[in-house]
Amino acid sequence: MSIYLDYNSTALVRPQVQAIMAEVLAEGGNPNAVHALGRRARSRIETARAQVAALVGADPTAVVFSSGGTEANAQGIASAIAAGCERLIVSATEHPCVAEAAMASGIPVEVLPVDGNGVVDLDWLAGALQRPGRAAVAIHHANNESGVIQPIAEAAALVRAAGGWLHVDAIQSAGKIAVDMRALDADTLTLSGHKLGAAQGSGALVGREGLTLVRICTAPGRSGACARAPRTRRASPGSASRRRSRVASLSKRRIMQAGATRRPSGSRRRAR
């Protein structure tokens, strides 16, 4: 008998999820249709939306479903830029999908360093936020490899005072520790179903009440991230691999510098 232990990578689909998925697939129904099956499908979506909102203490109308965490993070970054952010500050230990979305955005990107325990440097952030240009700051709630939990509320206070935008990737923390949108004071927050026992290919972007979340592909009238996208710089051949190398290089440099200048103290906090 095998024992599955890789839940930080992806969780097994829960039996309850398998059952409801089988029921929905057998039933069918377009949630945009006005007939009975369509209305039932729409009801299922809205029930799920309310459940996701309750998980993170948000308004259901602020929950946008996506194909997963990568799309949701890209949509969060795009929404910050559409709202007027002129530069991005991304933590050195951020998930690659956030770092790459930032590098592909076409606006300046700065790397927020971490200390020897992997915690973001709030003093550096405070200084960076004083520089010209409205900033969007992206910080993992809990790191997917080290388990380090970041001081999101403290970072949010700095971002709020500077008139910036805070994007929080809570994919690794949701369902394991408390995640409250209002307590964290985030503008946008992302989730991914496969970390919680749902099927792969499901995720959500949650926005602060009253914010406008842009859509990043074209499909008018559909739920999720699909519709008109903001204008971004077109990538040239090979640019994706160059961006990945640059992000990895910047992150490694920051981490090495942090380790050389700061001696780890105490035990690091971990998501459980």
- Give the type of residue at 44: R
Residue 177 has pLDDT above 90, yes or no: yes
- Measure the CA–CA gap between 248 and 246, rounded to whole angstroms: 5
pLDDT of residue 86: 97
Element (H, E) at 192: strand 188-192
Give 96-135 pLDDT, tens digit per residue: 999 999 999 999 999 999 999 999 999 999 999 999 999 9
Q: Which of 11-20, 90-99, 206-215, 257-266 has the lowest mean pLDDT?
A: 257-266
Taking phi over 0 as left and psi of -120 to 50 as alpha, with beta for the rest, 259 belongs to alpha
pLDDT of residue 1: 86
The pTM of the whole model exceeds 0.85: no
**Cβ atoms < 10 Å from Cβ of 205:** 26
